[in-house]
Amino acid sequence: MDAMHHSAAFLLPSHLRPSSHSYALVVLNQRLPEFAPLLWNHACVRVCADGGANRLFDEMPRLFPDEEASLVRSRYIPDAIKGDMDSVRTGVLEFYKGLGTKIVDESHDQDTTDLHKCIIYLRDFTSGLDQSNLCILVVGALGGRFDHEVGNINVLCRFPNMRITLLSDDCLIHLLPKNRRHEIHILPKVAGPHCGLIPIGMPSRSTTTTGLQWNLSDTEMKFGGLISTSNIVKDDTVMVHSDADLLWTISIKKFT
C-alpha cells in the first residue's frame, strides 16, 4: 500500500520549502495568524470567504506595523471573495472589487458553509493542476463559535480526497482518510510536539501508529471511549493506519 505523505512544510520560508506541492489559501472570518503573509506568498490562488475579506483588510496591516496600512492592503489582494455575503462590509467589498477581485455572491445557497463554497471554487479554478499535490490552507478556521469550527471540520469530511488543512496560531488539523497508510513528516522547528488523532464520523475499530510517545496498536477509538489527545511526537516520522477517517492535529510553534 502506497503511503500518503503529509507535512507542515508550508510553515517554512520559501527557500526551505520542498516544491512538490501547490498551495491555495482561504481566509475565513477569524483572527489572522502571524504567519498569514508567509502562506499568502506560497499560494498560487487566494480566496476570502465572505467576512474573511474584512479580516484581510483590517488585520493584514497589523502584521506590518512599520508600513502604511494602505500600502499593505494594496499588496494583499484576493483573487476572489465568495460566500453568502452576509458578513463582508460594503466598503471592503468595493475596495477589493475596484482592484480586480472577483466577487462570487452565492446568497441563494444556504445549505453549504462559506468554506464549502470556497473549496468548490478552488477545485474548479485549479482543475488544470495535479489535485493530489494541491494543498488548500485555511486560516481563521479555528476559534470563535463552536458551530463554525464543527462546520469547518465537516468540510474536511465532505472532501476527503482533497488536501485541506485548517489553521490557527496554535495548531493545524487535517484529515487522514481511512484505509490508507499515512506518513507524517515532523518539522520540529515549526510544529509539535503535542499532537492528537481523533476518529471523525464513525469509530475506529483498529488504529496503529509509530513515532508517538503513546503509540496505538490495533486500538479501538471512539467518542465515549479512547481518543488520542495530548500525545507527543517522538520521531521525525509518524506512521498512521486506520480503518476509519481520523483527524490529525499538531501544535504550531510560536512565530517570532
Q: Looking at the predicted structure, is the pLDDT value of residue 248 above 70?
A: yes
pLDDT, position 153 = 95
pLDDT, position 130 = 65
pLDDT, position 111 = 78
CA distances from 212 to 102, 104, 191, 248 (A): 44, 44, 14, 13
Region 29-40: mean pLDDT is 95
Region 60-77: mean pLDDT is 96
Residue 212 backbone dihedrals phi, psi, to 5 degrees? -110, 160
More confident residue, 107 or 194: 194
Angle between helix axes 146-158 and 114-125 (nearest 10 degrees) is 30
Cell reading at 31: 483572527
Q: Residues for the chain: how many in total?
A: 256
Bridge partners for 167 per DSSP = 139, 172
pLDDT, position 19 = 64
Cell reading at 86: 452576509
State the pLDDT confidence band at 173, using cuts at 50, 70 and 90: very high
Sketch out the chain's domains with CATH numbers.
21-169 (3.40.50.10240), 170-256 (2.60.120.320)
Going 16 to 19 to 20 to 23, the CA torsion angle's sign is positive
Q: Looking at the predicted structure, is the pLDDT value of residue 125 above 90?
A: no
State the pLDDT confidence band at 222, using cuts at 50, 70 and 90: very high
pLDDT, position 52 = 96
> SS in 3 state form for 121-134?
HHHHHCCCCCHHHE
pLDDT, position 246 = 97
What is the rounded average pLDDT for all residues in the chain? 92
Angle between helix axes 90-98 and 52-59 (nearest 10 degrees) is 80
pLDDT, position 103 = 94
Q: Up-side HSE of residue 184: CA atoms within 13 Å toward CB?
A: 29
Q: Looking at the predicted structure, is the pLDDT value of residue 18 above 90?
A: no
State the pLDDT confidence band at 122, using cuts at 50, 70 and 90: very high
Chain-centre distance of CA 20, in angstroms?
A: 18
Cβ 83 vs Cβ 50: under 8 Å = yes
Closest CA to 198 of 168, 236, 166, 169: 166
Burial of 59 (0-12, 13-18, 19+ CB in 10 A): middle
Bridge partners for 248 per DSSP = 174, 197
Alpha-carbon distance of 4 to 175, in angstroms, equals 11
Q: Looking at the predicted structure, is the pLDDT value of residue 25 above 90?
A: yes
Range name among 36-40, 128-132, 142-146, 148-152 with the lowest pLDDT average? 128-132
Alpha-carbon distance of 152 to 167, in angstroms, equals 11
pLDDT, position 256 = 58
pLDDT, position 128 = 66
Region 192-205: mean pLDDT is 95
pLDDT-above-90 percentage for the chain: 80
Cell reading at 250: 499538531
Alpha-carbon distance of 84 to 204, in angstroms, equals 36
